[in-house]
Amino acid sequence: MTPRIYAGAAVAASALLCHSALAENRAVETVHFELGMSSIDSDTKDSTSNGTLGANLIATLPLGRYFGLSLGGRYSESSVRTRDVLEDDSGSLPGGRPSCNFDSYGGDASLFFRLPTWGRIGASYGTGKLSPDCNGGSLFPVTGENTLSTEHYRIDAEYYLGDFTFGVAHTTTTLDDGPELESTMLTTSWYPLDSLKIALSGHDLYDENTYGILVEHQPEMLGDVLSVRLGYSMTEESPKTRTFQIGLSYYFGREVSLKSRDRQYR
Amino acid sequence: MHHLTGARRVAGVALLLSLCACSGSSDDNETSRQIELSTHSLTFSAAAPTAATPAAQTITASFSAGIANLSVVHTGQGIAKVTTAVNGTTAQIVVTPSDPATIGAGRFTGTLAVTGYFCADTACSRLEAGGSQTVTAKYQISPVVDYVAPNVATAGVSGTAVIRGSGFNGYAIQSVKFGDVAATSLTVVNGSEIRAAYPALPAGSYAVSLGIPTHEGTPPSTATLIAVDAVTRTAQTLPWPAAVTAVTSLRHDAQRDALLVSTDIADGTVVRYAHAGGAWEPATTTAIAGVRDIALSTDGAQLLALSRTGLTPLDPVTLAPATTIAAPSLPEKSFLKTLAVANNNLAIVTTGIAESKATELYTYIVRTGVMTKLPTALNNASMGSSTNGALIGIIQGDSTLTTAPAAYTYAAASGTFSPLGVALNQNSVAPVLDRDATRLVLNGVNVYGADFALLGKLPETTLAVSLRPDGKRAYTYDSAAAGILTFDISATKNGAAFTALGAATPLAAAPGASAKMTISADGKTLFIAGTTQIVVLPAPLDP
């Protein structure tokens, strides 16, 4: 699958470069800030489910006419619902319910080339740290410790076609000194309205197929500064995992439609 | 418009292609989200709440290399600690059970869940669970019966016994058995005490056991109730093996039918008279310098001899002494004075000093041989114990006092000293109680009931007193009557004097000065020891 992705990315990049002379707008119209909050519920069959509350801040800066730089930071905390696996056959818990939480923070930087009428290509680098706090013990096998540092590199490309955006991203993630995780994500987004986006995605992290749908709406009545996201994804492999997401983003600066924001501002 | 429709078609095809592209997965380095454990159940057991913590047990978890995090959570009182060490794609999970002394007796079930977590997104900004495996940990901490008190019953006579041990609150105790004979009633007083009634038993030894359906196996017990036949002894005297000028203590060993006396022979001697086949055997002796008091341990396995500075366990038959345990930090000029054994085999030791002054008490744990000083201090206190060891009466004071000090009790069930609500300055007669602590006599005169209300008074001429095991009769060795007076103390006189039942029963001979009196466990024989001799007297019958 990976050669197919690279080929697609190369085609998209060539197409973008060929048409650059025809570009009418800048890659990033103006400095753009986005403050987001999200709640994600992840439910694994016959295992624990956990809820994650997170926040992120992303700044996108223009670099000349064709380039943009995106800098972001994030923090999230996941609470594991331990009762799911500890209750006995009668549904009662023998003793108190232990807590188990994961903290995660990190940041990334992305440099991209964009022609707003055609698409963009970019590369990203990010780091992060995960740390658990579980009654009983929790550690990361690759380190044998209770913290895990992550690094990831990503190349991505998007192609804008009318009300559709086609995206491909390949990410290489390193867990401390452990194995590298390679994954490719394909995304197709449709804007039935300029204020509404429906995105279908699929990725192959751990060589398992995960499919998702995300609906994002930026209502005009709220002044085009706020968007709401609802998402659902599922992993087919055993054990099956389903993820529900609800998110809210607030944008500082220019009040533009969601479609314009995606293609010209962030 | 045509252009837009074409774009949508292209987009639709591209979308399908993109999703199809995801469907092919590589077989290389495939990551399993499942975990395998070497076992799904653990069993721990401790023989008693006081037992050592059982050894930790290890579970091996196997998982794939792609796992990001391995978390172990547990619940349940029985699991104290879980530690995890990872080596490659296996983890050693060490499960340490709780200290039995911390959680007490009972059956505890705990659950331990091992969950592998994986990156939830391509940047691994959060984790989501893979497979989870659980382990059920079962932990049984047994209740244990240590003692039964009194450890001797009279054959053919029903009675009640105090059963001491630990962990009685951890289970629903359905029955108590004496050998194969079920108790006729039982009351769980607290986690360390049960009161059980037994029917009339033939002579023999009866292991005490608890019936607990939820307990796997028979709960451990080291207690044995010994039923002995009642003995009819003739009135007679027993001579001292050497001249005696003071008798400090007199006990009857009901299990072996022997008299045990501490005297000042040769500055301290314990004398034993065994009774067998209807006759008394010659006295055997052991020198214990400065011996002040003696008492049998709750299980009758040791005779404790208290001297001025220490406590010496003796074999109750041969009187062979073991190593003397010195009282720690005994204040200068003070000395160990009296000894009483509670039914949990804990000896209480009072101290004295040649002046009117409070000095600390000690405890001596018979099973471990450890003597410890208590913060409680009393003024030259003397003690007496009920035969079942449930209650110890304590009286204190000195002849120079103008204000009577408080009398105390020590309750074995709670392990506490409490003021009796009575102020009395002690005389030469130590406190006396009946078998089951229903009556308490202080100073040989004042008779109190189980609620410590004053029932009535015995004559001021009482030199020594004993109570019948059922607490309904008091026998006094009376200086005016020169014999034994019998009093019905079963009903209260509201503090007034009790009237003797009939005339005094004469003794075979005068015991001499410094008289001590005790009664056999069957209530049929009185023993009075004085400086002249020991007098044996069948307990007077009611006229």
A10 pLDDT band, cuts 50/70/90, is low
Is the confidence at residue B338, as pLDDT, over 80? yes
Of A88, A108, A141, the CB nearest to B111: A88
pLDDT of B14 above 70 = no
pLDDT per residue over A150-202, tens digit each? 999 999 999 999 999 999 999 999 998 788 899 999 999 999 999 999 999 99
Each residue's pLDDT tens digit, B397-409: 998 999 999 999 9
Q: What percent of chain A has pLDDT over 90?
A: 67
**Residue contacts between A and B (CB atoms, under 8 Å):** 251
Q: What is the mean pLDDT of chain A?
A: 89
Q: Which of chain B's residues have a Cβ under 8 Å away from the Cβ of A208?
A: 25, 31, 33
Q: Let me know: does B292 contact B330? Beta carbons within 8 Å.
A: no
Burial class (CB in 10 A: 0-12, 13-18, 19+), B4: exposed
User: Average pLDDT for residues A60-72, to the nearest whole number?
Assistant: 96
Q: Give residue A26's pLDDT band: very low, low, confident or very high (50, 70, 90).
A: very high
Q: Which A residues in the span 94-153 are in contact with B, Cβ-Cβ below 8 Å?
A: 94-98, 100, 102, 104, 106, 108, 126, 128, 130, 132, 134-142, 144, 148, 150, 152
Summarize the confidence of residues A52-57 as an average pLDDT. 97
Backbone conformation region of residue B267, classed left if phi is above 0, alpha if psi is from -120 to 50, else beta: left
The pLDDT score that the predictor gives to residue A9 is 52
Nearest-angstrom CA–CA distance, A16 and A120: 7
Q: Do A137 and B31 touch (CB under 8 A)?
A: no
Most A CBs within 10 A among B35, B67, B122, hence the mutation to make, goes to B122
What is the pTM (predicted TM-score) of this model?
0.78
- When pLDDT is averaged across residues A46-72 and rounded to a whole number, the result is 95
Type of residue found at A25: N
- pLDDT at site A88: 74
B96, pLDDT greater than 50: yes
The whole-angstrom separation of Cα A47 and Cα B133 is: 8
Are the beta carbons of A128 and B109 separated by less than 8 Å? Answer: no
- Which of A143-147, A230-234, B49-53 shows the lowest mean pLDDT across its residues? A143-147
Q: Cα torsion at A187, A191, A196, A202 (round to 10°)?
A: -10
pLDDT band per the 50, 70, 90 thresholds, residue B19: very low
Give the pLDDT of residue A2: 47
Q: What span, in angstroms and rounded, lies between the C-alpha atoms of B353 and B332?
A: 9
pLDDT tens-place string over residues B478-520: 999 989 999 999 999 999 999 999 999 999 999 999 999 999 9
To the nearest whole Å, the CA of B57 is away from the closest chain A CA by: 15
**Alpha-carbon distance B122 to nearest alpha carbon in chain A (angstroms):** 6
Sheet architecture: strand order including B144-149: B144-149, B159-166, B193-198, B185-190
Domain A3-264's class? mainly beta
**Tokens read off for A12:** 């998209």
Picking from B542, B512, B509, B507, the residue whose alpha carbon sits closest to that of residue B526 is B507
The mean pLDDT of chain B is: 93
Give chain A positions within 8 Å (CB) of B110. Answer: 94-95
Per-window interface: A 11-50 vs B, CB < 8 A: 40, 42, 44, 46-50
Query: Is the CB of residue A15 less than 8 Å from the CB of residue A7?
Result: no
Nearest CA to CA, how far is B14 from chain A (Å)?
8
Task: Grade residue A11 by pLDDT with cuts at 50, 70 and 90.
Answer: low
Please tell me the predicted confidence (pLDDT) of residue A238. 82
**How many CB atoms within 10 Å of residue A153?**
16
pLDDT computed for residue A94 by the predictor: 75
Q: Which residue in the set B70, B75, B112 is minimally distant from A97, CB to CB?
A: B75
Cα separation, A63 vs A112, in Å, equals: 9
Minimal Cα distance from A173: which residue of B? B123
Residue B63 with chain A: CB contacts under 8 Å: 141
Q: pLDDT per residue over B314-335, tens digit each?
A: 999 999 999 999 999 999 999 9
Is A114 exposed, middle or buried, given 0-12, 13-18 or 19+ CB atoms closer than 10 A?
Answer: buried
Interface probe for A, chosen from B36, B118, B126 (most Cβ of A below 10 Å), is B126
The order of strands in the sheet holding B440-442 is: B432-433, B440-442, B446-448, B454-457
- A-chain CB neighbours of B74 within 8 Å are 86, 98, 135-136
Q: State the pLDDT confidence band at B21, using cuts at 50, 70 and 90.
A: very low
Q: For residues B491-516, b (16+ Cβ closer than 10 Å) or e, as one string?
A: eebeeeebebeeebbebeebbbebbb
Q: How far apart are CA B466 and CA B473, in angstroms?
A: 9
Q: Considering only CB atoms, which chain A residues are within 8 Å of B71?
A: 80, 100, 132, 134, 136-138
**Which residue does chain B place closest to A47, by CA atoms?**
B132
Query: What is the model's pLDDT at position B5?
Result: 43
pLDDT of B6 strictly over 80: no
What ipTM did this prediction achieve? 0.89
Q: List Cβ neighbours of A60 (8 Å cut-off, separation of 6 or more).
A: A28, A31, A32, A33, A34, A68, A69, A70, A71, A265, A266
B25: pLDDT strictly greater than 70: no
* Residues B97, B108 contacting (CB under 8 angstroms): no
Q: Give residue-wise pLDDT tens across range A93-139.
A: 877 888 899 999 999 999 999 999 999 999 999 999 999 988 778 88
